[in-house]
Chain A
């Protein structure tokens, strides 16, 4: 007699998974690799995939591929995954598809922190990272406190977050206007969110931080899915809700701020990726892995577009993600308004 349900697949170690999410994640994984390879091939002169693999394997070294293109592609994929994960965490937390870090002011808060490090301090990579996290946390705390009224409400947090985001964005513009011209020009280019010119030196620390955050949250995914049953059932089935929420906020802020410190506030990946991932897998709630994979696909895809559209002039990837994501936001808003 089989005790296993239809529609599920047995995995090694006695693990089992639903078939459709598994297939979708595998397909997304293939897409991630394909976009990655395309990114490595693409440039002023195209390389063939064979040249790319040879360069990666070290049999036919190519500085252009491993030192110029690879960091950018790695950043596109890893940062995309981090943004997707962060979006999924906040959307689970607020129980609202609009509750993503870029909408509720986290990105712009992190950007404020980075601007501060750039102008008031010497603007080293470590300072940028630290102050981005600080700015992101500060924005989150402000939004959280303003929206806390005898209990936690996801919708209230989203609405207040949108207002805070607008104010912080205005504040950021003000800082940039006051700055010296050359610094301001650099900051404005960066403010759209861009992967232009990233190299390995920029990425080492952020990659370690993101890997650590992924490891921490992946241990708590089951508890996270349990919270979707509502606060009462989450608690009475054994979830330590207060601690879990704090962890989700810290990991979400950490991911977003780390990306912002290097690439600036790249909008809409965190908003769109979790919902696209959810629809593709047909899973209950907003699962994390599909969100991260979709985020990687979206950001890397957007960055390829950004490089190709006005070639040889490279567009900031944030311009592309905003143009595409903006349409998605309009659609989402009309849908949510109709539902409310």
Chain B
């Protein structure tokens, strides 16, 4: 399994607070990789390092064998797209305008918008099912609609890699599943998707590569069906459980055995 995007022995810290020490990770090409783990285990921090928002204190993140820090900003942005947990919509912006902002790395200093920009925006809106909302102000949308608009913006960026930080939080269960289906479809069309997910069962069901983290370390990684068992869940989440096959997808499903006091 080849990997163009890799982290080599990276140490991540905010000021004096060390989050991860000498962490290594390969993101398999064409996979839907889900990063799971308890709160504050360093999932989001790892993601920020992969998209160059956080520079490792030691080690390096590489894309195609070249350190990401050495890429010009726009060149990297044409390869790796990112959706943060709390993106900001400028006041009064309309859906189509926001989605168009995803084309920024494809445009040069003075170049007008090209046909390719137009079609990328149109396809991104169609894929994220926000075409009908194109002329609505983003502020007026519901949480689920807004999240799909952000996804559309990230899609318009047309990057081989798409990294998302907890894309399902703040969504109701229906919209969570719609979003995960969308991410799986993107993977099927050839993109590499990496998402920090909170729900281990959703991660097992939709991802084909699972990275389980705890205390800034990767505890286990691999196909969910190969690595998820009661011992791993106990290790990672401190939660006693039984693992049963998901009645719909057949993937591992974690059922906690923890009872109330």
Question: Could you list which residues of chain A lie within 8 angstroms of chain B, going by C-beta atoms?
Answer: 3-7, 13-16, 150, 219, 222-223, 225-226, 228-230, 232-233, 235-240, 278, 282-285
Secondary structure of the A side of the interface? loop
A-B interface, 9 closest residue pairs, ranked by CB to CB distance from nearest: A238-B77, A284-B93, A238-B105, A238-B74, A284-B90, A236-B82, A230-B88, A228-B90, A14-B112
**Distance of A14 Cα from B107 Cα, bound (Å):** 14
* Known contacts A235-B52, A284-B92, A230 near B118 by CB under 8 Å: no
CB distance from A282 to the nearest CB of B (A): 6
Question: Could you list which residues of chain B lie within 8 angstroms of chain A, going by C-beta atoms?
Answer: 15, 48, 51-53, 73-78, 80-84, 86-94, 96-97, 101-102, 104-105, 107, 109-110, 112-113, 115, 118-119, 122, 134-135, 157
A5 touches B80 (CB 8 A): no
CB distance from A246 to the nearest CB of B (A): 15
Q: Could you list 30 examples of A-B contacts with CB < 8 Å? A: A3-B118, A3-B119, A4-B118, A5-B135, A13-B112, A14-B113, A219-B109, A222-B107, A228-B88, A229-B87, A229-B88, A229-B90, A233-B82, A236-B51, A236-B53, A236-B77, A237-B104, A237-B105, A237-B157, A238-B74, A238-B78, A238-B104, A238-B105, A240-B73, A278-B92, A282-B92, A284-B91, A284-B92, A284-B97, A285-B91
**Distance of A61 Cα from B178 Cα, bound (Å):** 74
CB distance from B13 to the nearest CB of A (A): 13
**Distance of A16 Cα from B113 Cα, bound (Å):** 8
CB distance from B22 to the nearest CB of A (A): 25
What residue of chain A has the Cβ atom nearest to residue B74's Cβ? A238
A3 touches B92 (CB 8 A): no
Instruction: List the A side residues contacting B75 at CB < 8 Å.
Output: 238
Contact of B115 among A3, A226, A240, A284 (CB under 8 A): A3
B80 touches A236 (CB 8 A): yes
Instruction: List the A side residues contacting B122 at CB < 8 Å.
Output: 3
Instruction: List the B side residues contacting A150 at CB < 8 Å.
Output: 15
* Known contacts A238-B73, A238-B104, A238-B105, A283 near B88 by CB under 8 Å: no
**Distance of A15 Cα from B96 Cα, bound (Å):** 17
CB distance from B96 to the nearest CB of A (A): 6
- 5 further interface pairs, Cβ-Cβ under 8 Å (given A13-B112, A14-B113, A238-B104): A3-B122, A225-B101, A228-B88, A238-B78, A284-B92
**Distance of A35 Cα from B97 Cα, bound (Å):** 34
CB distance from B166 to the nearest CB of A (A): 13
CB distance from A281 to the nearest CB of B (A): 9
CB distance from B154 to the nearest CB of A (A): 9
Instruction: List the B side residues contacting A283 at CB < 8 Å.
Output: 92
B52 touches A285 (CB 8 A): no
Instruction: List the A side residues contacting B113 at CB < 8 Å.
Output: 14, 16
CB distance from A237 to the nearest CB of B (A): 5
**Distance of A226 Cα from B88 Cα, bound (Å):** 11
What residue of chain A has the Cβ atom nearest to residue B103's Cβ? A237
**Distance of A222 Cα from B92 Cα, bound (Å):** 17
Instruction: List the A side residues contacting B94 at CB < 8 Å.
Output: 284
**Distance of A4 Cα from B96 Cα, bound (Å):** 11
**Distance of A106 Cα from B212 Cα, bound (Å):** 51
What residue of chain A has the Cβ atom nearest to residue B71's Cβ? A238
**Distance of A328 Cα from B113 Cα, bound (Å):** 38
A7 touches B82 (CB 8 A): no
CB distance from A46 to the nearest CB of B (A): 42
* Known contacts A226-B101, A284-B97, A233 near B84 by CB under 8 Å: yes
**Distance of A5 Cα from B93 Cα, bound (Å):** 15
* Known contacts A3-B119, A15-B112, A240-B73, A226 near B104 by CB under 8 Å: yes
Instruction: List the A side residues contacting B48 at CB < 8 Å.
Output: 232
A235 touches B90 (CB 8 A): no
What residue of chain A has the Cβ atom nearest to residue B102's Cβ? A237
CB distance from A20 to the nearest CB of B (A): 11
* Known contacts A219-B110, A240-B73, A229 near B101 by CB under 8 Å: yes
CB distance from B167 to the nearest CB of A (A): 14
What residue of chain B has the Cβ atom nearest to residue A14's Cβ? B112
**Distance of A237 Cα from B75 Cα, bound (Å):** 9
